[in-house]
Amino acid sequence: MNNKDVIFLLNEKEEIVLELSNLPSNDIPCCYEAPILLLQDGKKVVLSTDDVLGNMLALRHLLTKTLSNELQLDQSIVFDIGYVYNEYCNVLYKRNASTNCKFVYKISGNSRLWIGSQYSLWAHDYMSWIYNSADGSIVLELTPLYANGFPYKGKEATYKKWLQAYKPYLIRIIPHKIAERWLVQANDVIKRTPYESNIK
């Protein structure tokens, strides 16, 4: 890490780092990709390697919603969100219309999206989610993705066995003061991209 990196402090032992050490200047060019890492106890977990602007816009959106307690999990998500997401991906792979009906969708423009996609933040080694719990707390959750891709015909037992052992990688409550700080940091990063000047 260096002084160009942006550190989203989660607690005394865990932080999320946006690595900007390779930037030649303070400005972030359009479509610039940089890793976002979770650091915990000397371990690095890659949360995203996508473009900085898209990642920070997603973070800003979810923090704004959760700080206003507007992002409680939909009542259709009765199991852990990562578990349901893997099941959703499995259904998409199979293209099975009869099992597709167990998911709730919302219409966005011309697309039909699974209702859980509104809580999705980043994806890489794990899926990252931010949502409000029933008591209004802000939850950050990292959940595993089925590593073997979705099952090819004849290999469904492997996925079913993996799903039986499924558990979230990390669930943390983000205190409101920390979420507010993260929001300021995300906005500061966005201001360093061409995005802000293009929307005025």
pLDDT tens-digit profile of 141-163?
999 988 766 655 666 668 888 88
**Total residues found in the chain within this entry:** 200
* DSSP string computed for 43-55: EEEEEE-SBHHHH
- Which candidate, 94, 46, 83, places its Cα nearest to that of 162? 83
pLDDT tens-digit profile of 122-144?
999 899 999 999 999 999 999 99
Burial of 101 (C-beta count, 10 Å sphere; 0-12/13-18/19+): exposed
Q: Are the C-beta atoms of residues 162 and 171 closer than 8 Å to each other?
A: no
Domain boundaries, the chain: 6-198
Question: 104 falls in which pLDDT band (50, 70, 90)?
Answer: confident
Mean pLDDT, residues 31-55 taken together: 95
The pTM for the full model equals 0.88
